[in-house]
Structure 1
Amino acid sequence: MSIGTGIDATVHVGAHTDIQHSVLHHADIGDHCRIFNSVIEGDPDWPAIIGDEVTLINCHVQSTGKANAFSFCGVAVEQRQTRLGKGVVLSNSRIVNSTVEAGSEGFGASITHSHIGPQNALRSFANLSLTQTASRCNLGSEVSKTLITGAGFVSEHYSSYLSLFAPADYPILTADGREAVLSGLPNASNIGAGTVFANYGGEPLPAASLDESPGSAKGTAVVYGSFVGINCRVINRYGQPEGHPSPFDLLRRQDLTVLGFGSFVENKLTGRVPAFAYAGDLSPRSHRLGWVLEKKPGIILNTVKKMQAILSDEAYRLRDLVQGTLRLECQLLQEELDGGRPTFYTREQLQDGLRIMQAQLSDGRWAMDEAGRWLHAWRFDPAREQWY
């Protein structure tokens, strides 16, 4: 055990400790610690606790003694002190009033009063602010004003800037025409490397955190199990989900950027991208409605496969997801075609999208049995590089 200088007497240090340069107050440090260039503080009533296999190298863990709670997209997140859970490894760290638990790793993480679920990777150069993540996340370079409630969310590699709400509740239309919500499902969205969720001009606003940038309070994308390509620019519109919004209302708003379930987006885009649609341009008139169903069904199959793996014995909860989303999207597009609400699409786009979706709904290829398994025997044709 090696200990540096400037350690306050109230600190309790666990086994295998290797602390240097220091200044620690009211902290309880667990086993397997290293903690090099330090400054870990706390309050007698609200101590900072660093547990298990922690490695913090350049450090700065500081508890204020206050409970920094915040509310985002209708979800209240209560925070008390800094606590680092089991396998945390943070190199150029700055952690303030956050809870970090099992499996997190990282490189340049800077975390501000956030929940961070188990098995995260906190990809290189991470910067998380006011963020609650779900289990098994694999996050990008900078994550700000982001709430991920569905397990299974992935942001590949690094150089990404996330500004989004990834729900765990999916709106569907039942076979008898009722609106219903499938709650507590994984959100298996995949965010490609280099992707930026930006406000207005195509680049993230210049601020280290939400508190320092009032402008970044605007524009939050809602992402339902979407596949986002590398180096994509998702321009968040000016709307913000407030309070406890109905997912059906969110899908009908024109001031929000919404990436629907099974959508595939790349390049630069904004606004609502319907479920199963392709978008790769700022103009909605270039979107291809129903394109993923017809041309890239593997995106949907892969997303559902991830969700099945996460749910394991509860995969039966997915049995109505794809068909229910198809019915709902058909209803939304029909409303626009009938003039029931404003649309950004041409009549031909709406008709083509409805034709594809209604055909695939009626032939039953997306039906599941009671256990949440496909009834259709999907096969891959390597010659066409296509699922059928």
Structure 2
Amino acid sequence: MRSLGNIIQLGIKELRSLWRDPALVLLIIYAFSANIYSSAMAIPESPHRASIAVVDEDRSQLSGRLLDAFQLPYFVPPVRIDQAAMDAGMDSGKYTFTLDIPPNFQRDVLGGKQPTIQLNVDATQISQAFSGAGYIQQIIQDETTTFVSRYRTDTVLPVDAVVRMAFNPNLERSWFGSLTAVIDQITMLSIILTGAALIREREHGTIEHLLVMPVTPLEIMLAKVWSMGLVVLVASALALRFVVEGLLAVPVQGSIALFLLGAALHLFATTSIGIFFGTVARSMPQLGLLIILALIPLQILSGEVTPRESMPMLIQVIMLAAPTTHFVELAQSILLRGANLAIVWPQLLGLLAIGSVFFLSALARLRQSLQ
């Protein structure tokens, strides 16, 4: 009971120290609010309210059909302009896309010719230029094919593929981006907070006070793990409720409680990593460099950015020792696909085993550094 009391009191001390550090408090608030929102919405994979102007030199039924095909929310209603206004509009940044439909366009299409349509793209609008150009080409192709099919015999394909999008029917990037950002912040902040807590005690000289008190390295480490882990866990739960589900309107398919259980086991591993880094680094800048070196492979090679199946087999095997590999699979299964405990229990056991190894390694390192 005395040991449990020490762990609780030391953890409360860590929470008070964190509260008195405005930089870390602001980092937590930003990471689980604005950063998640910007990660989900910053660079859309599809155009959104892109401006387009059309020089319609044909004035035919087909050209009118093309103009009507540009609809919200991808494009604002197209503006009819002449050729003299096309260059000026592009130079001033008024239009992201300008489309020049040549004379006799409909006649040439129905005559079996291949007329050329000029599409000008303002490539300085990088978030919309490349995806928008692809959308415009697809719209022109679809509308022209549909128009011509009224006058010619349809070509019947031997196979009709019916595509159904599971779990994300409209392919909304914000669904994947926001949940990925939550996973990133849980990993990053848990390492930063625990490592910074140990560095802060060394810089303020309070680590010497702990050494003369009747507390053990195990109690010191457990206090940092539960206190910093609790902060990140509460912040991630609030971010899921108010930012992901509320502000971004992303539907969470599975149990948030099951996800938080997996997050707690993940925090058990990552907070231990933070303490290990805190014993190695001698200052906050050194801690930051170590965290950067660890976070990049943890995030890129864990299956968060690209599927693990596309990586070399050696990398897949090595990354099984990383907690992020199991946590990413668990989080995506629960939040996006609605998986239950019967599906994700292997990832939970993997996080528990990896967390135990990291915890014992960090504890051994902490005992050595306190001697």
Normalising by the residue count of structure 1, what TM-score does the alignment of the two structures yield? 0.23
Higher helix share: 2
Higher strand share: 1
Higher RCO, 1 or 2 (CA under 8 Å, sep at least 6)?
Answer: 2
